[in-house]
Amino acid sequence: MLGAVFAACWLPLLAPLPAPAVLAAVMLPGALFVPVLTVAGLTVTALAPAGTTTEAVGWMSSAIRLGLAAGTALAGPLGGHFALPLMAAALGALVLSARTHNPAPAPAAA
């Protein structure tokens, strides 16, 4: 849910806005960024198999850094459009919601 709200907060930035309006419009997704990262970290920690939590968080951290690097590399050719972070946030929300709605079955009692 938080990922979907985060993605929706980028929608106003798709419109051509003057610089002061862009500055104001980025405050809401910026304020939601840390809660999204916190929920992602807690989800990865909860879903990681026993004994692999550190590795799972490391993979998440590496994936975030790779995404940031790719977004930075594409920012110039895309001309500063905000469609890329919007699509990435929406994809993250879909993956997280798909995993949350289909949890692994509980082990059978002996």
- With 0-12 / 13-18 / 19 or more C-beta atoms within 10 angstroms meaning exposed / middle / buried, residue 6 is buried
Domain coordinates in residue numbering, the chain: 2-100
Q: What pLDDT digit, counting tens, does each position of 36-90 carry?
A: 989 989 999 999 888 898 999 888 888 888 888 887 777 767 666 667 677 777 7
pLDDT, residue 65, reads 87
- Cα dist from 84 to 16, 24, 55, 101, whole Å: 16, 19, 28, 26
Q: Measured between alpha carbons, how far is 48 from 56 in angstroms, rounded to an integer? A: 6
Residue 64 carries which side chain, given as an amino acid letter?
I
Global pTM value: 0.59
